[in-house]
Structure 1
Amino acid sequence: MSQLDIRHASVADAARIAPLFDAYRQFYEQPADAAAALAFITARLERGESVILLASQDGAPVGFCQMYPSFCSVIAAPIYVLYDLFVAPAARKSGAGRALLRAAETHAREHGCKRMDLTTARNNATAQSLYESLGWVRDEVFYTYTRDLAA
């Protein structure tokens, strides 16, 4: 059985994460753009704007999750928004996604967060099943809205 390792990423890991991030974006129907993926990941890590956990098997990167620190006014506490979670298709069912989520929760607790939020596509039943198996609860009270400011 191969060894799965989860660790906090640094700027030095940006080139290892970028192909996974680009594949993640393509999963959500964005065009491939390796340069933009590298630039985005590098900037987040250089500026300390996100926490990225990197999953590797036998030294090869197989998945990542990216969390953004935020706050919840209602509970008057810090939270993390787990925005990105991706495991390469060849590594799915290896436990990497579950391990990344558990490591993210541990990190959030260690940093005083009272809650974590995430969203996923309505048709992503595989991810929903994973989240629910780990105790995440789908919100049935609030709607999420977005506004495209680029238009």
Structure 2
Amino acid sequence: MEVFLANINHIESISVLFDRYRIFYNQPSNLEAAKKFLKERFQNNDSVIFAANDNGELVGFTQLYPSFSSVSMKRIWILNDLYVEESYRRKGIAKLLMSVAEKYAQESGAIRVILATQISNITAQKLYEARDYIKNEEFYHYALPLQ
């Protein structure tokens, strides 16, 4: 298993995984929109995507978005997306993707990696807690829907 930093040349394969990721979160499949969205991320350098390759087949990815902490005046990375094909789950690929993402964040001088997951996603919560992510109970997170 190889994990590498994806680029726009991997858009076709990454888009398929990204579409399946969205389906996992109960969104309708829309491969063309997924491809357009990711193409914009690559062109604008809005995110960093790591992909897991098993003998030429992409089987998982994680996407990080940059942010900053004004208080510490340091970079933060938001681990926004993590997906592994169902037939490849429970084989350590998510851990490997996270490890590479965490190393990348550390090497970039970031102060932390943050993430969120659905309350019902117990499997993901166990993975994050096993990797020493701390559930933040000091802050409430709010969102303002605009559409």
TM-score in same-fold range (> 0.5): yes
Aligned identity (percent) is: 39
For 1:60, the equivalent position in structure 2 comes to: 57
* Residue 134 (structure 2) aligned to one of 134, 137, 146: 137
1:114 equivalent to 2:111? Answer: yes
**Aligned equivalent of 1:72:** 69
- Which amino acid is the alignment partner of residue 93 of structure 2? A
CA distance in 2, matches of 1:27, 1:72: 30
**Structure 1 runs (4+) greater than 2 angstroms displaced:** none
Q: CA deviation at 1:144?
A: 1.2
Q: What is the TM-score of this pair, normalised by structure 2?
A: 0.97
| Structure 2 counterparts to residues 1-151 of structure 1, below 5 A | 4-150=1-147
One-letter identity of the residue aligned with 1:25: R
Give the whole-Å Cα distance in 1 for the aligned partners of 2:43 and 2:51. 16
Q: How far did 1:29 drift? A: 1.1
Unaligned runs of 5+ in 1: none
* Number of equivalenced pairs: 147
Output the aligned Cα RMSD: 0.8
Q: Secondary structure at the match of 2:117?
A: coil
Q: Which amino acid aligns with 2:110?
A: C
Cα displacement (A) at 1:76: 2.0
Task: Give CA deviations for 1:30-51 in whole Å, capped at 9, x if unaligned.
Answer: 1110101111111101211100
Which deviations, in whole Å up to 9, do the C-alpha atoms of 1:20-72 show, x marking residues without a partner? 10111111111110101111111101211100000111110000000011101
Query: SS of the counterpart of 1:30?
Result: coil
Distance in 1 (CA, whole Å) between partners of 2:35 and 2:76 is: 26
